[in-house]
């Protein structure tokens, strides 16, 4: 027996033999519709303005609600400058601001449909400025669902984490009353597929990422309320035949999707709406008194299914019933099926039973689950060595030290580059983020960054101090909202290498973000929205070579390429630009 097969047995169960074939029909969560009062998804506590105009309702409800975690549009610095730009762009009106002016169907459009249902459809489309594929979720806007749409959008905008689906922008089509939400595309299929294909060990490693996503959401005050295998997508295809499955597990990236039923709540704050997917619904949800631990129950169901290939409460006769009433009774009263769980190792069994604790006040949290011995063993035996190369850390620290001297414009450009970069291009920095995040909450404190810089950077030079590396000035520049923590995109923007945002794709993508009215130029007003009046005036004076009063794409590209070559702040560099510099750099 191979070492890897032995790991399969030691992490997932008492035997290395694959689990019995799963029966797709009984386990299909689509056998029953999502449960919700009056048959309609709830609007997660959002007060919807009384209006006959759905578009107006979205704007009224979205605008104050996007600041869920108080980290959107706080000021015009860094990430927040970009978010402000994104809000202005996506709320723009007029014929030019339509989905079809920015996105097109890919060649061979017959396979462009990624999914559809009662919510609308999800299609694969091409971003014309960069040529990148993205997913576009199109939803018909009605007075009944306007709150749910704005809630899902505002929640996704605030959940900045490597394991949560990323939103790029959104468009409203008033003629057809459609809302189009543009997100990153995931090509690797659902986590459910790994159950069907018996990739048990890989599933165990990927489940750790789901735990991280749920811990982060709960820390941000977001309860998903529809966690399930089908709502966990692989960013790219998983190679089950790879020789080094540990490396494959380290490379794979999970994205949690579909926050349509999510709610924003404080820790332990009760909810009462009965909703979700029957196979994953927690007993306390059925009793209409629950909190964020309902997501933890769903994690327990997912873990049970991933390790055994079976559901902890479903019986074959469930598939023949039109009502899930008897299933709900077992969820509330019965223990999980004993035979499959008996095949697990003691620590796996212990964790599953803690996740599937009937009393949600005694159920462990996602953070506690991540600290469980089973998760520790998966990380050490399956995922293996994940320590980031010191060269990467040293480069990141050097880039961060220059960040505080950058202007608002350059910080926004770096944020765009971080958001636009392909997943594989950010893999080293993503690993660095997770290594820095000692408590696993999806954010980095000053202490976490300073400690790792001292260990990995100062240590290699004989134990240097972290003080000059992480000064008060630098931390204030990075922690723009003064929360004491920085998010994933803020981290990437601060440490990304300049050369990564000088490519043509990023330049075109960034230009389009600034060009709010899509007329091919960045005018003074559009620039002021991000960098303020003074800096906008100086930038136009130096960059507007033809005296038109605005910046075209060529002039914008010159600026970005110059920034990538010179180790100076944007403002300093603009002051020294001459006509000869522009000609040389063009």
Res. 85 pLDDT band, cuts 50 70 90:
low
Structure tokens at 160: 């900045």
Structure tokens at 4: 């890897």
pLDDT, residue 197, reads: 67
Each domain of the chain, given as residue ranges in start order, spans 3-30+192-383, 38-183, 390-497, 504-585
Considering only CA atoms, which of 488, 425, 548, 500 is closest in space to residue 165? 488
Q: Rounded to two decimals, what is the model's pTM?
A: 0.81
Considering only CA atoms, which of 200, 191, 277 is closest in space to residue 232? 191
Mean pLDDT of 146-167: 88
Per the annotation, the verdict on 258 as an active-site residue is no
The hierarchical CATH code for the domain 3-30+192-383 is: 1.10.510.10
pLDDT, residue 458, reads: 52
pLDDT, residue 14, reads: 45
- The predicted-structure confidence for 486-532, as pLDDT tens digits, reads as follows 999 889 988 888 777 777 888 888 888 888 888 889 988 888 877 77
Which range among 417-421, 446-450, 476-480, 569-573 has the greatest average pLDDT? 446-450
Beta strands in 25-106 (DSSP E): 103-104
| Residue of 151, 160, 226, 550 marked active site | 226
Q: Can 390-497 and 504-585 be said to share one CATH topology?
A: yes
Q: Partners of 304 in the beta sheet?
A: none
Structure tokens at 119: 């919510």
Instruction: Could you please state the CATH topology (level 3) that the domain comprising 504-585 is classified under.
Output: Recoverin; domain 1 (1.10.238)
pLDDT, residue 466, reads: 41
User: For domain 38-183, which CATH number applies: 3.40.50.300, 3.40.50.720, 3.40.50.2300, 3.30.200.20?
Assistant: 3.30.200.20
Res. 130 pLDDT band, cuts 50 70 90:
confident
pLDDT, residue 245, reads: 66
Q: Partners of 264 in the beta sheet?
A: 222
User: Cα–Cα distance between 64 and 384 in angstroms, integer?
Assistant: 44
**Cβ neighbours for 524, distance < 8 A, ≥ 6 positions apart:** 536, 537, 540, 549, 550
**pLDDT surpasses 70 at 213:** yes
Mean pLDDT of 55-66: 43
> Which of 83-97, 119-133, 163-177 is predicted with the least confidence, judged by mean pLDDT?
83-97
Res. 83 pLDDT band, cuts 50 70 90:
low
pLDDT, residue 403, reads: 82
User: Cα–Cα distance between 194 and 211 in angstroms, integer?
Assistant: 17
Considering only CA atoms, which of 318, 319, 226 is closest in space to residue 281? 226
**pLDDT surpasses 60 at 23:** no
Mean pLDDT of 458-487: 68
- The predicted-structure confidence for 308-359, as pLDDT tens digits, reads as follows 989 999 988 776 676 788 999 999 999 999 999 999 999 999 999 999 999 9
User: Cα–Cα distance between 414 and 394 in angstroms, integer?
Assistant: 19
pLDDT, residue 503, reads: 77
**pLDDT surpasses 70 at 195:** yes
Q: Does domain 390-497 have CATH number 1.10.238.10?
A: yes
The chain-wide mean pLDDT, for the chain, equals: 76
User: Cα–Cα distance between 394 and 410 in angstroms, integer?
Assistant: 21
Structure tokens at 418: 């971080």
Distances in whole angstroms, Cα of residue 60 to Cα of each of 46, 49, 54, 274, 426? 11, 7, 10, 27, 36
């Amino acid at each position: 027996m191979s070492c890897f097969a032995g790991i399969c047995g030691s992490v997932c169960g008492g035997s290395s033999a694959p689990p019995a074939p799963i029966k797709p029909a009984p386990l299909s969560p689509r056998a029953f519709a999502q449960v919700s009062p009056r048959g309609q998804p709830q609007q997660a506590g959002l007060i919807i303005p009384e209006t006959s105009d759905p578009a107006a309702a979205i704007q009224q409800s979205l605008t104050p609600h996007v600041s869920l975690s108080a980290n959107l549009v706080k000021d015009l610095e860094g990430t927040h400058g970009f978010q402000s730009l994104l809000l202005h762009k996506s709320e723009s009106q007029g014929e030019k601001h339509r989905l079809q002016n920015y996105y097109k169907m890919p060649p061979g459009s017959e396979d462009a449909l990624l999914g559809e249902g009662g919510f609308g459809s999800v299609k694969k489309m091409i971003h014309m400025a960069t040529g990148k594929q993205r997913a576009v979720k199109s939803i018909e806007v009605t007075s009944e669902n306007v709150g749910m749409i704005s809630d899902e959008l505002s929640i996704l905008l605030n959940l900045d984490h490597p394991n949560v689906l990323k939103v790029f922008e959104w468009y409203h089509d008033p003629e057809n009353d459609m809302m189009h939400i543009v997100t990153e595309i995931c090509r690797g299929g659902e986590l459910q597929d790994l159950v069907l294909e018996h990739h048990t060990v890989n599933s165990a490693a990927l489940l750790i990422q789901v735990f991280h996503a749920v811990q982060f959401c709960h820390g941000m005050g977001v309860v998903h309320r529809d966690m399930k295998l089908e709502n966990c997508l692989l960013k790219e295809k998983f190679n089950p035949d790879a020789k080094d499955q540990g490396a494959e597990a380290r490379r794979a990236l999970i994205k949690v999707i579909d926050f349509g039923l999510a709610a924003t709540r404080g820790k332990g704050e009760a909810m009462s709406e009965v909703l979700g997917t029957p196979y994953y619904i927690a007993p306390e949800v059925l009793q209409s008194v629950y909190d964020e631990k309902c997501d933890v129950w769903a994690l327990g169901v997912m873990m049970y299914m991933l390790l055994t290939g079976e559901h902890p409460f479903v019986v074959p006769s469930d598939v023949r019933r039109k009502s899930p009433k008897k299933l709900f009774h077992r969820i509330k009263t019965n223990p999980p099926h004993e035979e499959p769980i008996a095949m697990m190792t003691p620590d796996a069994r212990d964790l599953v039973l803690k996740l599937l604790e009937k009393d949600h006040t005694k159920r462990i949290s996602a953070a506690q689950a991540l600290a469980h011995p089973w998760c520790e063993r998966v990380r050490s035996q399956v995922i293996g060595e994940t320590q980031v190369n010191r060269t990467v850390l040293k480069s990141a620290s050097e880039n961060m030290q220059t960040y505080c001297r950058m202007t608002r414009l350059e910080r926004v450009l770096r944020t765009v580059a971080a958001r636009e970069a392909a997943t594989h291009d950010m893999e080293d920095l993503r690993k660095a983020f997770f290594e820095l995040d000692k408590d696993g909450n999806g954010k980095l404190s000053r202490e976490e960054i300073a400690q790792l810089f001292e260990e990995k950077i100062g240590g290699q030079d004989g134990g240097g101090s972290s003080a000059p590396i992480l000064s008060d000035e630098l931390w204030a520049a990075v922690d723009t909202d003064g929360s004491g923590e920085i998010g994933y995109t803020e981290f990437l923007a601060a440490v990304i290498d300049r050369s990564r945002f000088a490519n043509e794709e990023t330049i075109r993508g960034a230009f389009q973000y600034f060009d709010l009215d899509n007329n091919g130029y960045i005018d003074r007003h559009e620039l002021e929205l991000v960098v303020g009046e003074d800096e906008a005036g100086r930038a136009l004076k130096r960059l507007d070579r033809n005296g038109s009063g605005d910046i075209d794409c060529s002039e914008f590209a010159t600026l970005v390429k110059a920034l990538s070559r010179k180790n100076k702040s944007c403002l300093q560099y603009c002051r020294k630009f001459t006509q000869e510099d522009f000609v040389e750099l063009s």
